[in-house]
Structure 1
Amino acid sequence: MELRHLRYFRAIGREQHFGRAAIALRVAQPALTRQIRDLETELGIELFERLPRGVRLSSAGRVFLSDVEEILSQVDRAVDRAQRLGSGHLGTIRIGLSEIIAAHDFISHGLRNFRESEPSVALDLKSMGSVNQIAALKEGTLDVGLIYDAHLEERDYDVLDRICLGHGETMLAVHESHRLAGRASVTMAEIAEEPALGPARLTAPGYYDRLMTACVESGSTPRIVQECTTNSILLSLVAVGMGVGFVTASSQSSPAHNIQLVPISDLGLQFEVLLVWRKSDRSPALQRFIDMMIHHAGVLPAG
């Protein structure tokens, strides 16, 4: 018994007529009649009662038709799922997202647009730092990451592909009551004596080193009183007046209701926001996600 036998039987059972079923199936009627005879012989039962004009399902045929309808519906659903999965319209994408990267508006907008345009592709967002994302990508437990370029090393380029979606500028986070709040910009010399909060080198060595190098090159090293393992901890400490903080963001929009971000005129430190994935990953769903994020960010893939 083959699927075509079931499809032929379903068509005749619905039409109650061999001729009309043959037209619907675009099959010659004699061939259709022969196929149904073969099916009945294999089953050992009569599926139809032959009438002077047309046919009528037998009692066994009615039960069989009900089951065949369900079987063919399941087959059609399986075919549809396979086709959508193969074309990238179905599946799951595991996305690494650090807290500081998530603050960039173009990232959240891109994720929302993809979710709206591809509702059958699940986005499994995993909150983790950039260093852990790179390790997870190499291990295959993550499909794509969103990180700052400072965290990639030369050895990663052989395994990971990347594209720049945008940039983040390192600015000064201050409480709204601070003397520097409301300024168009500040200099490193103006904050030299301020108690400052920065990233922890243990969790973000590349980011930390780039920041400290830029500070030294500006000619004025900040007085770091505490290193923070997450951006939210840093901002919480700024919010309660523990000091000013170094934060990388794509705009001056406030990360909290009582905090302001002020550009540092003589620091000039920017980081690239990278979309990173394994070179060996050929998932159609992942490629659709990459294309969507590139399109939304308004950048062109590297040639």
Structure 2
Amino acid sequence: MDFRKLRYFEAVATERNLRKGAERLHVAQSALSRRIAELEQELGVPLFDRLPRGLRLRPSGEVLLAHARRIIADVEQARSAVEASANMIPRTIRIGLVSRVGQMEFITRAFRDMSAAFPSLSTEMPIYSHSTAVLDRLSSGDLDIGLMYRPVPDDDHCRSIILREFQPMVVLPNSHPLTQKELLTPDDINGEEFLLFPRRIDPSYHTTLVNAFHAAGATLTVSQEIEMEEVRLGLVAAGMGLSVASSSLLERPHPAGIVLRPLADMKFRTNLVAAWRPQVESLVMDTFLAHCRTKEKDDAICLDELAKRPN
């Protein structure tokens, strides 16, 4: 006994008339008559008495009608519940991010627009020092969304999209002679001392970054490892060495006294990724991610132009 036949039966039993039942269901009367006959044959009992002017339910039909109405109501309730869950607005959403991501204007705008769309929503925004911590918290269920600089494999536990792509750039003090060049060559920086983040913070990215410079023909001579980016950049501004930073630095506040320059033949790129757990997908999450991905033409950033700006 399939659900469609029950719906057909309920309509005919309620209207007590095949023609009216067909009109209500928007089906041909002949097709409806066949389905009712099939249902009676399947159950082995007649459900209606055929009268000159309409139909009359038999006792077997009365019993089936009561059950059919409950089943139809349950199915409609289940459908409504599923549709509501897809658009459910949670009380709180937990979005974890690497500290520097929260300084980008398009991310802060996404938070602002989400708050405007859902005024009653409470947002928790824990900040982490590196991407590995964000991914760990997301995997453990402590976060609904994670914004980080690392690839996230799509599987049953996680989904992800790329929001922006950035390239590594050389950070120079503004008094350095190399600031006169718009594009650096490997020979320009070979022999220079670099301030870099410790490998223990993110071993995979550290190795990838060093190898990317090597592939471009440059060698990173690391004189000091400093965990906090703000401190590294401050020391560069003070003339204590060069450093490497993502071109995302051009989209967020940074110390005065530094200049960023791209390196020729640098193929490596880092992606700013938004990742989430499929179990917590909601209208709120969809809205936030949509605002993160929106990139108005006027907001597009030309890295070359920004790199030339004086600091």
TM-score range, shorter chain: 0.5 to 0.7
Pairing partner for 1:249 from 247, 258, 264:
247
Contact 1:172 1:262 in 2 (8 A): yes
Contact 1:188 1:222 in 2 (8 A): no
Pairing partner for 2:210 from 212, 229, 246:
212
Aligned to 2:115: 115
Q: CA-to-partner distance for each residue in 1:216-275, whole Å, 9 max, x for gaps? A: 212221111122323222212212222111000237467222211111122232111100
% identical aligned pairs: 26
1:275 is aligned to 2:271 = no
Q: CA-to-partner distance for each residue in 1:45-81, whole Å, 9 max, x for gaps? A: xxxxxxxxxxxxxxxxxxxxxxxxxxxxxxxxxxxxx
Structure 1 residues 294, 147: closer, same or farther in 2, change over 3 A? Answer: same
Structure 2 Cα separation of the partners of residues 206 and 104 of structure 1: 24
Report the secondary structure of 2:179's partner residue: coil
Aligned to 1:133: 134
**CA-atom RMSD, angstroms?**
2.7
Contact 1:252 1:260 in 2 (8 A): no
Structure 2 residue runs without a partner (length 5+):
1-83, 298-311
Aligned to 1:194: 192
Runs of 4+ in 1 over 6 A off after TM superposition: none
Structure 2 Cα separation of the partners of residues 218 and 242 of structure 1: 24
Q: CA-to-partner distance for each residue in 1:200-224, whole Å, 9 max, x for gaps? A: 2211222212211111212221111
Structure 2 Cα separation of the partners of residues 296 and 114 of structure 1: 16
Structure 1 Cα separation of the partners of residues 275 and 123 of structure 2: 16
Report the secondary structure of 1:268's partner residue: coil
Contact 1:175 1:259 in 2 (8 A): yes
Structure 1 residues 142, 248: closer, same or farther in 2, change over 3 A? Answer: same
Give the TM-score normalised by structure 2.
Answer: 0.61
Q: Give the stretch that moved more between structures: 210-219 or 230-239.
A: 230-239
Structure 2 Cα separation of the partners of residues 89 and 296 of structure 1: 25
Structure 1 residue runs without a partner (length 5+):
1-83, 299-303
Aligned to 1:147: 148
Report the secondary structure of 2:162's partner residue: strand
Structure 1 residues 106, 194: closer, same or farther in 2, change over 3 A? Answer: same
Give the TM-score normalised by structure 1.
Answer: 0.62
Report the secondary structure of 1:131's partner residue: helix
